[in-house]
A and B are shown apart, each in its own frame.
Chain A
Amino acid sequence: MHKTWLVARHEFSVTLGRLSYRIFAASVPVLAIVALIGFAVFEAVRSDNTAAEGASYATGEAESTYGYVDLTGGQDGPLFTDHQLQDDTRFVPYPDQERATQELLDGRIDRLFVFPAEYLQTGAVVEVRKERAGVVDIDGGGRTGALRGFVLENLFEGRVDPEEFERIRIPYRLVTVEVSETGTPAESDIDTGNALTFIVAGVLLLVSGFTASGYLLQGLTEEKENRIMEVLLSSIKPEHLMFGKLAGLGAASLLQIALWAVTAVAFLLVLNLIVELPFELNSEFIPSPGSLLTAFAYFLLGYALIGTLLAAIGAVTTNQRQAGNISAFVIVPAIAPMWFMITFLENPEGTVARVLSFIPFTAPVASLTRLSLGGMGGVEVILSLLSLAISVVIVVGLTARLFRAYLLAYGQQPSLGNLVRTLRGR
């Protein structure tokens, strides 16, 4: 046990010393810092613009100037007399279309709208623009928004309740409720925090866990190529060496994950101070202990399975290139659930999703995906974890045999027959 710990500590420190690990681990915090700086700069520029707009509002200036001719008339006079500043657009009234058109041609206004006398009956508004102003109207969205605000506020603000006016402005917000086969609302066993936990665990397993497994494979083949393996095996049993390597690299991987998790939380908290987030950072984002434990179990068992299989490949191959090629046979099945993502999204409780949750190779990614979609029951989770754990125990036992048999087989590729004999303990 003590020597397993020594190997784990050594692997941990060697991995932390690897330039590739450092770059990979630092990439997320660096990207977060760069993004925060970007947001801060963007926000500063935006607030400067807002201040300028405030000043321009005071002085009657705006970024765009739209002219309009209001011919609506009627008993109460013209309809469009107020609310002439909409965001960064200023609406300027003109008494007649001829003068307004001249101003448009002279470039003093950007656009011209004419509200005809029968506007209330037809809703028609005439937009006058220069000939060949462009095939694509790049400011179409901004124009529509400004015009809409200008019209709605002039027509309704102050004439209806504020609540009613808000409903006129934003008629509805869609809320979807799922019902079960009995017609009662279906209960969702997933909330934002738990869903995020499973998604993040799945991504981390794919990114960080597989990277650590890759380091394990690389380290093993290096030790075989460097011939230090023989020195190590004169001091430590092969299975203890394997456990130590798995533990050390797993710890390095978890450290990377912890760094990224802290970065993500800090990023959101700081971002929340810089800009207004489209969602509220509240307790919904805190995952339940059960979800954390489940995600951790899948991550750990998934890593143990993939890592041990790659260690077996490292034991029987003779160089890094060969090991890298063969490792595809382990990595590809593990990420196979990603190919069925559409199927998962459509029906996380479907046959494909269920089957993939119980095949040890695919179980970690498949189950974490289903859990994030709320499509996996507690019993299924337990059975899936159990199948994964049993397969890890079996694979560890078989890999230990390969370790004992082939770690010192420099330059000799064992035949398939020999491998089978070794795995059968003969």
Chain B
Amino acid sequence: MVQAAGLRKRFGDLVAVEDVSLSVRPGEIVGIVGPNGSGKTTTIRMLLDIIQPDEGEVSVFDAAISPAARERIGYLPEERGLYRTLRVIPNLLYLAELKGVSREQALRRSDQLLDRLGLEPHRNKKVQELSRGLGQLVQFAATLVHDPEFVVLDEPFSGLDPVNVRVMKDVVAELRTANVAIMFSTHQMSDVEELCDRILMIDNGRVVLDGLVTEIKRRFAGSEIFVACDQVPEGVDGVLEWRREGVGYVLRLSPGYAAEDMLRSLLDRGARIDRFELATPSLEQIFLQVVESRNA
């Protein structure tokens, strides 16, 4: 549905993005992660035709991006922006009309979104009268007011309280169910783990990791297992070292020792096991590991 191949962009002497390729399918959430200044926003701007790539191609809805295609895209930028002296509804109507939606349709959809996001009491307030969090929800409504088929969310949850984060996440989940293609950029790896099907990690303008979240985590899992039990029995073979973690233990296995051998060995020694699984690193750990290894 949305594809980019070999994107390259330089600003003066700085190469902001180099050979970035990606794809987002309907009903899929792709997380774009990376350190500050890694090229995430530049990549997003090229996808949205806000800036032109020096090299590479972007296709949206299976064709080169066109004014009609732009109308089917919703964008929540990292730097939030609304007309502060205008009221909520005129803001939404204007931005919806710029996306080709009729005024009546925009008004109807605005009402639905304001109701869904709990903003109904604020519909006639000026944006400058709203708190930062409420303003962000209004911006989120503006992103969706034209019923986009491809949504790009750049740091959508920053500055929001947990209640509003939940509301926004629920709406994002509803969008995925409605077969909307979603790309979101964030620094919060827990959000990526919770929401994304796939991730694209960018560092210094290049893609350093790309794939399904489950596959990437398995790839970085290594030779550790997590066992939820009262205690690790004495004299278990194949354990190089172990440490307590939460309700159980993380065991680092000796080279050549498989997880099923360890399970058998534990059971043979009478251990009472509530949970036994590969100890996969969090995305945050993977992120740090990848960035540090590249810097090294």
Residues in chain A within 8 A of chain B (CB atoms):
2-3, 6-7, 10, 14, 223, 226-237, 408, 410, 418
Contact: B98 with A6, CB < 8 Å? Answer: yes
Task: Give Cα A7 to B86, complex, Å.
Answer: 15
Q: Which one, A3, A10, A227, contacts B81 given CB within 8 A?
A: A227
- Shortest C-beta distance, B135 to chain A (Å), equals 11
Flag if B50 contacts A408 (CB, 8 Å). Answer: yes
Apart from A2-B100, A231-B77, A231-B95, list 9 A-B contacts with CB within 8 A: A14-B86, A223-B81, A226-B84, A227-B79, A230-B77, A231-B81, A231-B139, A234-B49, A234-B75
A367 and B66 CA atoms in complex are apart in Å by 44
Most buried by B among A2, A3, A410: A3
Partner of B70 from A223, A227, A234 at Cβ < 8 Å: A234
Q: Which residues of A contact B84 (CB under 8 A)?
A: 226
Name B71's closest neighbour in chain A (CB-CB): A235
Residue of B nearest to A234 (CB): B75
CA distance A227 to B67 in the complex (A): 22
Within the complex, what minimum Cβ distance (angstroms) separates B38 from chain A? 18
Distance in angstroms between the alpha carbons of A394 and B121 in the assembled complex: 49
Cross-chain pairs A/B with CB under 8 angstroms, 20 sampled: A3-B98, A14-B86, A227-B77, A227-B80, A230-B50, A230-B79, A231-B75, A231-B95, A231-B139, A231-B142, A233-B50, A234-B48, A234-B49, A234-B75, A234-B77, A235-B71, A235-B98, A235-B99, A237-B67, A418-B12
Identity of the chain A residue whose Cβ is nearest the Cβ of B74 in the assembled complex: A234
Contact B81 A229 (CB under 8 A): yes
For residue B82, CB closer than 8 A to chain A, the reply is yes
B83 within 8 A of A: yes
Q: Return A131 CB to nearest CB of chain B, in Å.
A: 71
Asked whether any CB of chain A lies closer than 8 Å to the CB of B51, the reply is yes
- CB of B80 within 8 A of CB of A234, answer no
- Nearest residue, chain A, Cβ from B76: A231
CB distance from A98 to the nearest CB of B (A): 83
Bound form: Cα–Cα A237–B45 in Å? 13
Would A234 and B79 count as touching, CB distance under 8 A? Answer: no
Interface assignment of B94: CB less than 8 Å from any CB of chain A? yes
Given contacts A226-B81, A230-B81, A235-B99, contact A6 B73 (CB under 8 A): no
Chain B residues packing against A (C-beta within 8 Å): 12, 45, 48-51, 67, 70-71, 73, 75, 77, 79-84, 86, 94-95, 97-100, 139, 142
Decide if B70 touches A235 in the complex (CB within 8 Å). yes
**By the criterion CB–CB under 8 Å, are A234 and B50 in contact?**
yes
Smallest CB-CB separation from B73: which chain A residue?
A234
B80 — which chain A residues lie within 8 A by C-beta?
227
Q: What chain A residues lie within 8 Å of B67 (beta carbons)? A: 237
Bound together, the chains give a CA A228 to CA B99 distance in angstroms of 15
When A and B form their complex, which 8 residue pairs have the shortest distance between CB atoms, in order from nearest?
Answer: A228-B81, A227-B81, A227-B79, A235-B98, A234-B75, A230-B77, A233-B50, A234-B48
A232 touches B77 (CB 8 A): no
State in angstroms the CA–CA spacing of A228 and B135 once bound together: 12
B94, A6: Cβ atoms closer than 8 Å: yes
Distance in angstroms from B246 CB to nearest chain A CB is 41
Q: Is the CB of A226 within 8 A of B70?
A: no
Chain A residues with Cβ below 8 Å from B82 are 226, 228, 231
Q: In the bound complex, what is the Cα–Cα distance between A240 and B83 (angstroms)?
A: 19
- Contact for B95 among A2, A235, A237, A418, CB less than 8 A: A235
Closest Cβ–Cβ distance, residue A345 to chain B (whole Å):
45
Complexed CA–CA distance, A237 and B51 (Å): 10
Q: How far is the CB of A300 from chain B (nearest CB, A)?
A: 26
A258 to chain B, nearest CB (A): 25
Q: Which residues of B contact A230 (CB under 8 A)?
A: 45, 50, 75, 77, 79, 81
Complex-state Cα separation, A231 to B83, whole angstroms: 11
Q: Which residues of B contact A232 (CB under 8 A)?
A: 98
Q: With a CB–CB cut-off of 8 A, which chain B residues contact A229?
A: 81
On whether the beta carbons of B98 and A236 are closer than 8 Å, the reply is yes
Cα A6 to Cα B99 in complex, Å, equals 10
Contacts of B139 in A (CB 8 A): 231
Q: Are A6 and B97 interface neighbours, CB within 8 A?
A: yes
Q: Roughly how many angstroms separate A227 CA and B135 CA in the complex, as a whole number?
A: 13
Which residues of A have CB within 8 Å of B71? 235
B172 to chain A, nearest CB (A): 18
Nearest B residue to A244, CB-CB: B98
CB neighbours (8 Å) of A408 from chain B are 45, 50-51
Query: In the complex, A230 Cα to B49 Cα: how many Å?
Result: 11
Q: Tell me the smallest distance from the CB of A315 to a CB of chain B, in Å.
A: 14
CA distance A10 to B75 in the complex (A): 20
Report the minimum CB–CB distance from A6 to chain B (whole Å): 5
Chain B contacts of A234 at CB under 8 A?
Answer: 48-50, 70, 73, 75, 77
Distance, CA A2 to CA B49, complexed state (A): 19
Q: How far is the CB of A198 from chain B (nearest CB, A)?
A: 38
What CA separation (Å) do A36 and B279 show in the bound complex? 88
In the assembled complex, which residues on chain B have CB atoms less than 8 Å from the CB atom of A227?
A: 77, 79-81
Residue of B71, B75, B94, B95 most packed against chain A (CB within 10 A):
B94
Chain A residues with Cβ below 8 Å from B12 are 418
Question: Most chain-B CB neighbours within 10 Å: which of A7, A234, A418?
Answer: A234
Please indicate which of the listed interface residues A14, A226, A229, A231 has the most CB atoms of chain B within 10 Å of its own CB: A231
Whether A14 pairs with B83 at a CB distance below 8 angstroms is yes
Q: Which residue of B lies closest to A410 (CB)?
A: B79
Bound state CA distance, A408 and B82, in angstroms? 15
User: What residue of chain B has the Cβ atom nearest to residue A417's Cβ?
Assistant: B12
Chain A residues lying within 8 Å of B77, measured Cβ to Cβ, are 227, 230-231, 234
- Which has the most chain A C-beta neighbours within 10 Å: B75, B80, B97? B97
B96 nearest CB across to chain A (Å): 10
A380 to chain B, nearest CB (A): 43
Chain A residue numbers with a CB within 8 Å of B83 are: 14, 226, 228
